[in-house]
Amino acid sequence: MNEMSNKWIGQSTIRPDGAEKVTGRAEFAADTNMPGMIWGSVLRSPHAHARIVSIDTSKAEAHPGVKAVVTAQDIVDFPVDTPVPLGIQDMRWMCRNIMAREKVLFHGHPLAAVAATSEAIAAEACKLIEMEYEVLPWVIEIEDAIKPDAPILHEYLEHDGKPSNITGTLEHKLGDVEEGFAQADVIIERSFTTRPVHQGYIEPHACLVSVAADGKTTIWSSSQGQFMVRAMTAMLTDMPQSDIRAIPAEIGGGFGGKTIVYLEPVATMLSKKSGRPVKMVMSREDVMRASGPTSGSMSTVKIGATKDGQIVAAEGTFYLQAGALPGSPIRGAAGCGFAPYNIPNVHSVGIDVVSNRSKVAAYRAPGAPIGAFAVESVLDEVAEALNIDPLELRLRHAAREGTKAAHGPTYPLIGFVETIEAAIEHPHYKAPLGKHQGRGVASGFWFNAGGESSAQVNITEDGNVVVTTGHPDIGGSRAAIANVAAELLGIDYRRVSVLIGDTATVGYSNLTGGSRVLFASAMAVTDSAGQVITTLCERAAKIWDIDPDAVTWEDGEARPAGDNAGQFEPLSLADIAAQATQTGGPIGHGAQLNTTGAQGGFATHICDVEVDMDLGIVKVLRYTSFQDVGRAVHPAYVEGQMQGGVAQGIGWALNEEYIFDKDGHVDNPGFLDYRMPVCSDLPMLDAVMIEVPNPAHPQGVRGVGEVPLVPALAAIANAVHNALGLRFSSLPMSPPKVLAALEMPEAAE
Amino acid sequence: MAKLHVSTTINGEPTEFLCEPYETMLDVLRDGLGLTGSKEGCGSGDCGACSITLDNRLVCSCLMLAAEAEGHEINTIEGMAKGENLQPLQQKFLEMAALQCGICTPGMLVAAKSLLEHNPNPTETEVRYWLAGNLCRCTGYDKIVRAVMDTAEEMRGAAQ
Ligand code: FES
Ligand code: FES
């Protein structure tokens, strides 16, 4: 741990990219243009499930203004029998997701794309593409998809020896649950469902791609990883990565949904074929129909406890919708649900199910809120049955240093207990409640992540600092990096400029995701800055003609290490930079690391709701979240993560859902009917940061972005239960459902 | 069909442009005039990322035909700061971290400025209802509402 004065770490400094963002100058992907640019448009499937018999693009190609047409034939095919993993994705599914092959698997599935001199002409030409389909029966919901006679999406994927829509399973085991349940006096078992919800980023996917005559390709796009864009585009278009320069535009929200590509490889092929730069921007409707939400789920959780309040066994089965192609976050659901607790016997199973809706993408702590919703709802009932305060029950079983988790690890130093204690002590927990009001609590866990990160720290000729890192800044990470660099170098944060490099200007850096960005990039910056400081001391030693070991770096200047080193006036960064040419050349260092030591994040939430008994509207009155944030390098942006996660949880719990019509089409692909929380729906969202620094990180960083969403669904459901005495085991608790349940309690299930 | 010729004022500058009759003000701002500060989040009036003012009235530029600008005054995010001086709301948004990704920010600022022009002393509820047409998925609105309330207070103080 760094023992410095912490002048900047812990300060809510102004972000380096701030002025551009508040004046409308920041360049998001759709804001970029190029001379000679043309527009791409995508033809999408009108069917939820159909075999493609033929595609005839000749009329579209002949249409005036059309410069290129692309179909699956132009995208590299990864045969279905050979897995090709890339991160957590598999290129077999990725190539079929961006352009349908063999079959269309959901309404909105891309079939072809046209580039033309205007957006309108491109869209018009799409309609001239002649398609012949063999329409197939389709299936959307998990319970239907796992029936023995369900329409099968992928005949070649088998489960239990026969073609099945179950396309993957995962199991965690600790102790012996049978024995555990045998000791239990109270056993509660409940089933739950949640609906798929969209990440809801306000910026639709967009890119601009220019393939030059020599094949050198530049991609500007909005993504959570320029290196992911490069790797996937290279693989899907059969180009060497060295020919592709992926430039990360400012990103208008992602929440996991921009960790894969949709448009970039298609635009690349359109540009290659037309010889023109091609811009593609999704409509909101396309985003809602065809980009990945997170999974819907169906789960069963059973928890057993002795009458003196000891939980002895827990079991969970979590079915998650993957969408059209395999790969739902079963690891998050089955792994995170029980992870906060010290329970001797655990059995947790995740099951991946495909169906005819768009392929899921990551969404903030993928899968974990689903697991926590079920587990934390049942825990609430266990507490009730045992007549123990729900936070007290959690505290008694809270994981701490040394607890063995069912998903594998034995925890190092973690701050979960502290979040529960803070919640118990908080005035919110004791505040009086009125009529039709209720209070709920819940906790949650997210793994957090490290992984590859690169950074470069350069000293400018005038003695200031430029830091380049490789993770797109999705919520203020540049500000936090500026704090870290300023702290290490002992200078004002305003002298540090932080940039996100493109794939040609910074070393490989993994996705912005997993709550890894500050954890990993601060390590790379710390390493680089350490090397810079060593060089600065060497240069000072040269100027003074003393041994480099006799120089220290303090408060932004080189000083003689002690009286023995000699008497010299300190040399500032500017002094040393001014003499850099004479003392050995430019000063700057980089680091490319595979970072390890990320540790789990824990949170506990308290939520108060009021139910409008006439309209069925659940209003969140007060919300306080408590989170072990490790070290809050930039507190305002840490709070922002906590508040944003809670707001998304409120939407998920109370309103957000897709509605499908009788043809398997999404009926509400827009913000009017897909109802995300608006400003007047929410109260202030209090965020209590608890700092238990991660000993494995130079600044104590733990990762903060994802866990804030995890407990929210259950905290709200538990509050509604407290208000009405009704347990909603099915989300969202939307007004029609609440009204129905008020009349007939079974409707809550 | 021939393009329409439109004479208008944008951020105080007399401006002329040609547009198709079906083009929206947002299309013309972004693609024709290079004013890409107004964002398109939905194109259907549901997100507020495209907020501008038309004769001091807050409108979604995605719902306004470009031809309707004829003879009127348009203000966009690009006209909010005066030279190097940020408008107080812009400054407060930075100080209070009222933006994360920043895509909603231009629309949010235009809407908030319009609120304070109409109502210099809004309650929290009034702020929340005025901004209810501006979606933000990142912040949970907490810091945005606080920034608007704080700015209002400061501006009232400065006006006295
Ligand atoms: S783009 Fe105009 S309201 Fe969303
Ligand atoms: S800051 Fe990202 S949508 Fe508001």
Q: Indicate which CATH number applies to the domain containing B50.
A: 3.10.20.30
Distance separating alpha carbons of residues B133 and B48, to the nearest angstrom: 6
Yes or no: say if A335 and A348 are a contact pair by the CB < 8 Å rule.
yes
Yes or no: say if A343 and A326 are a contact pair by the CB < 8 Å rule.
no
Q: Coil, strand or helix: which one is A148?
A: coil
Residues 6+ away with beta carbon under 8 Å from A289: A44, A106, A107, A108, A358, A666, A669
Please report the beta strands in A83-136, taking only residues with DSSP state E, as ranges in sequence order: 85-86, 89-90, 103-104, 110-116, 130-135
DSSP state at residue A204: P
Q: How many structural domains are present in chain B?
A: 2
Q: Examine the domain organization and report whether B105 and B64 are in the same domain.
A: no
Distance separating alpha carbons of residues A140 and A322, to the nearest angstrom: 11
Q: Is B138 on the interface with A (CB under 8 A)?
A: yes
Q: Examine the domain organization and report whether B73 and B104 are in the same domain.
A: no
Q: Which of B25, B28, B36, B42 to mutate to test the pocket of ligand 1 (most atoms within 8 A of CB)?
A: B42
| pLDDT computed for residue B1 by the predictor | 64
Domain parsing of chain A, residue ranges: 3-25+450-595, 32-136+203-252+258-290, 297-448+599-748
Q: Examine the domain organization and report whether B74 and B40 are in the same domain.
A: yes
Distance separating alpha carbons of residues A143 and A319, to the nearest angstrom: 9
A297-448+599-748: what fold? Aldehyde Oxidoreductase; domain 4 (3.30.365)
Q: Is A35 on the interface with B (CB under 8 A)?
A: no
Distance separating alpha carbons of residues A677 and A618, to the nearest angstrom: 12
What distance, in Å, lies between the first and last C-alpha atoms of chain B? 55
Q: What is the domain-level CATH number for residue B133?
A: 1.10.150.120
Tokens of A500: 């996100």
Distance separating alpha carbons of residues B50 and B43, to the nearest angstrom: 8
Residues of A in contact with B105 (CB under 8 A): 21-22
Yes or no: say if A342 and A313 are a contact pair by the CB < 8 Å rule.
no
State which amino acid sits at residue A510: N
Decide if A202 and B137 are in contact by the 8 Å CB cutoff: yes
Decide if B94 and A15 are in contact by the 8 Å CB cutoff: yes
Alpha helices in B5-87 (DSSP H): 25-27
User: Residues of chain A whose pLDDT is less than 50?
Assistant: 1-4
Do the domains at A32-136+203-252+258-290 and A297-448+599-748 have one common CATH topology?
no
Yes or no: say if A403 and A413 are a contact pair by the CB < 8 Å rule.
no
Yes or no: say if A314 and A302 are a contact pair by the CB < 8 Å rule.
yes
Half-sphere exposure of A333 (CA within 13 A, CB side): 37
Distance separating alpha carbons of residues A312 and A346, to the nearest angstrom: 9
DSSP state at residue B18: E
**Structural domain containing residue B16:** 4-79
What distance, in Å, lies between the first and last C-alpha atoms of chain A? 49
Q: Is B123 on the interface with A (CB under 8 A)?
A: no
Residue in B63, B103, B108 to test binding to A, most A beta-carbons within 10 Å: B103
At A334, give phi and psi (nearest 5°): -75, -30
Short-list A457, A496, A464, A449, CA closest to A702 = A449
Tokens of A100: 């349908």
Whether the model clears a pTM of 0.90, i.e. scores above it, the answer is yes
Q: Give the minimum alpha-carbon distance from A427 to chain B in angstroms, rounded to a whole number.
A: 20
B45 Cα nearest atom in ligand 1: 3
Yes or no: say if A708 and A641 are a contact pair by the CB < 8 Å rule.
yes
Transcribe A692-719 into DSSP letters: ---TTSTT-----SSGGGTTHHHHHHHH
Question: Which CATH superfamily includes the segment(s) A32-136+203-252+258-290?
Answer: Aldehyde oxidase/xanthine dehydrogenase, a/b hammerhead (3.90.1170.50)
ipTM over 0.95: yes
Q: Coil, strand or helix: which one is A394?
A: helix
Q: Is A78 on the interface with B (CB under 8 A)?
A: no
CB atoms within 10 A of CB B34: 11
Q: Examine the domain organization and report whether B74 and B109 are in the same domain.
A: no
Q: Examine the domain organization and report whether B93 and B155 are in the same domain.
A: yes
Half-sphere exposure of B135 (CA within 13 A, CB side): 26
Q: For ligand 2, which residues put their CB under 6 angstroms from it?
A: A 202, 253; B 99-104, 136-139
CA-nearest residue, atom 3 of ligand 1: B45
Angle at B154 between CA B152 and CA B157, to 5 degrees: 110
Question: End of a domain among B62, B79, B96?
Answer: B79
Q: In this structure, what is the dihedral angle of CA atoms A720, A725, A730, A733, given to the nearest 10 degrees?
A: -40
Yes or no: say if A335 and A447 are a contact pair by the CB < 8 Å rule.
yes
Short-list A461, A516, A505, A460, CA closest to A485 = A460
Residues of A in contact with B95 (CB under 8 A): 14
Distance separating alpha carbons of residues B137 and A508, to the nearest angstrom: 29
Burial class (CB in 10 A: 0-12, 13-18, 19+), A709: buried
* Residue at token pair 């934390």: A376
Yes or no: say if A16 and A259 are a contact pair by the CB < 8 Å rule.
no
Q: What is the CATH number of domain A3-25+450-595?
A: 3.30.365.10
Q: Examine the domain organization and report whether B114 and B75 are in the same domain.
A: no
Yes or no: say if A529 and A468 are a contact pair by the CB < 8 Å rule.
no
Short-list A18, A480, A568, A499, CA closest to A247 = A499
State which amino acid sits at residue A300: T
Share in percent of chain A as helix, strand, coil (round to 5): 30, 25, 40
Q: Examine the domain organization and report whether B35 and B54 are in the same domain.
A: yes
DSSP state at residue A525: H
Q: Examine the domain organization and report whether B9 and B26 are in the same domain.
A: yes
Distance separating alpha carbons of residues A673 and A395, to the nearest angstrom: 40
Of A202, A283, A671, the CB nearest to B103: A202
Residues of B in contact with A684 (CB under 8 A): 124, 142, 145-146
Of B30, B105, B141, the CB nearest to A21: B105
Q: Examine the domain organization and report whether B51 and B96 are in the same domain.
A: no
Q: Examine the domain organization and report whether B62 and B92 are in the same domain.
A: no
Residues 6+ away with beta carbon under 8 Å from B37: A23, A24, A25, B76, B77, B78, B106
State which amino acid sits at residue A220: W
